[in-house]
Amino acid sequence: MKKIGKQTIKFDTPPTISECSSIVGPKEADGPLCKYFDQTLEDEFWGEETWEKAESKIIKENVSGLIAKSGIATTDIDFIISGDLLNQCISSSFGLRDTNIPYLGIFGACSTFAESLCIGSICVEGFAKNVICATSSHFCTAEKQFRFPLELGNQRPPTAQWTVTGSGAALLSQDGQGPFITHITPGKIVDLGIKDANNMGAAMAPAFVDTLITHFKDTGRDPSYYDAIISGDLGYIGKEISIDIAKSRGYNIASNYNDCGVMIFDKNAQDTHSGGSGCGCCASVFSGFWFKHLKEKKVKKLLLIATGALMNSTSSQQGESIPGIAHAVAIEV
């Protein structure tokens, strides 16, 4: 592997995404992508006492489902790289504590899935045979930690996004027939002073465009090179803003760009306002929808850019602005 341009890494023997697995909650199952997910849940608790335990179970079952699906022995998996939204990433560490596989817990807010794919592919290119990259999020645990109790009778603004209940996991392998991760462009933190925690799309959009354009400049590619450019969870407003900013900088992405947060829910029927968000949004939509399209070669060149808002409830209350981040992963068949 080598660094090209400012911040892109090009792989000499690109890692294969050999298998993906996804589990989503009941609301996501009512959405337009239902048939693509491996498993859908009937309720938010999944037989557990607390939402936190339910989220841990989701990531645990998703990872074991992935291992079973791939047919690889657990002992042949070198690392799990995983993260979520809860304080100190407890969903991942509690959910995966019995796996007996070396574990790296990471945090990149909603960009965590792309971050784990970046680190995972570096490991696979370097020394590891098989690495699992997984993330999860849960609507109820996220609301509890970041916003208000669920039963509180308040009104959500139209810019608010709906945290996805679900998990996505990908198995990266040294040997395989693709889809391959050919390039990664880890992003830098971009903060344009947005303070409204109910408008995450606007806070993260500049980071998305920064990583996107840096990726194009580093690789010498342009938007038309890719069949699809996918952002993590900018939602409807963030998506529009991103198209605008990219256009103003001379890149037209309107025709082949979409957002996982826009795709996962039916905005009008499901009352999800600006769309989905959370670590599980991009992970489940990629693992469920896009991976199958790559496998069937309906999409041959995909640029996945997951975005994250690097804030917590304390920083919001103290009036801090929201730093955004975006990591790009180029996947080709």
Partner 1 sequence: MDPTQSKQEYQKYVDKKSPNSPTGKNIFNAFWTGGLICSIGQIIMNICKERGFDQTTSGTIVSIILIAIAAILTGLNIFNKIGKFCGAGSLVPITGFANSIVSPAMEYKSEGYVMGVGGKMFTVAGPVLVFGISSAIIVGLLYLIFNTQAVTLV
Judge contact between 27 and 150, C-beta under 8 A. Answer: no
Closest distance to partner 1 from the beta carbon of 207 (Å): 10
Which residue number, 191 or 227, has a Cβ lying nearer to partner 1? 191
Closest distance to partner 1 from the beta carbon of 223 (Å): 17
Of the candidates 22, 5, 333, the one whose C-alpha atom is nearest the C-alpha of residue 182 is 333
Closest distance to partner 1 from the beta carbon of 201 (Å): 9
| Rounded-to-integer distance, Cα 41 and Cα 44, Å | 7
Which residue number, 122 or 241, has a Cβ lying nearer to partner 1? 241
Q: What is the DSSP string of 271-296?
A: T-TT-EESHHHHHHHIIIIIHHHHHT
Closest distance to partner 1 from the beta carbon of 49 (Å): 7
**Tell me, what amino acid is at 328?**
A
Q: What is the distance in angstroms between the CA of the first residue and the CA of the last residue of the chain?
A: 19
Closest distance to partner 1 from the beta carbon of 274 (Å): 9
| Rounded-to-integer distance, Cα 135 and Cα 282, Å | 9
Closest distance to partner 1 from the beta carbon of 275 (Å): 13
Which residue number, 49 or 296, has a Cβ lying nearer to partner 1? 49
Judge contact between 180 and 15, C-beta under 8 A. Answer: yes
Q: What is the DSSP letter of 190?
A: B
Which residue number, 125 or 233, has a Cβ lying nearer to partner 1? 233
Residue with tokens 């697995």: 21
Which residue number, 99 or 316, has a Cβ lying nearer to partner 1? 316
| Rounded-to-integer distance, Cα 264 and Cα 24, Å | 10
| Rounded-to-integer distance, Cα 286 and Cα 270, Å | 21
- Residues with Cβ within 8 Å of 276's Cβ and at least 6 positions away in sequence, in order, are 28, 161, 162, 163, 164, 233, 235, 260, 261, 262, 264, 265
Which residue number, 199 or 231, has a Cβ lying nearer to partner 1? 199
Of the candidates 100, 93, 16, the one whose C-alpha atom is nearest the C-alpha of residue 56 is 93
Which residue number, 71 or 193, has a Cβ lying nearer to partner 1? 193
| Rounded-to-integer distance, Cα 126 and Cα 39, Å | 33
Closest distance to partner 1 from the beta carbon of 321 (Å): 8
Closest distance to partner 1 from the beta carbon of 37 (Å): 26
Residues found near partner 1 in the complex (CB under 8 A): 49-52, 144, 148-159, 192-194, 199, 202, 206, 209, 237, 240-241, 244-245, 248-249
Judge contact between 23 and 91, C-beta under 8 A. Answer: no
Beta bridge partners of 305: 231, 328
Which residue number, 41 or 205, has a Cβ lying nearer to partner 1? 205
Which residue number, 3 or 249, has a Cβ lying nearer to partner 1? 249
Instruction: Retrieve residue 294's tokens.
Output: 């790559």
Closest distance to partner 1 from the beta carbon of 30 (Å): 17
| Rounded-to-integer distance, Cα 250 and Cα 217, Å | 12
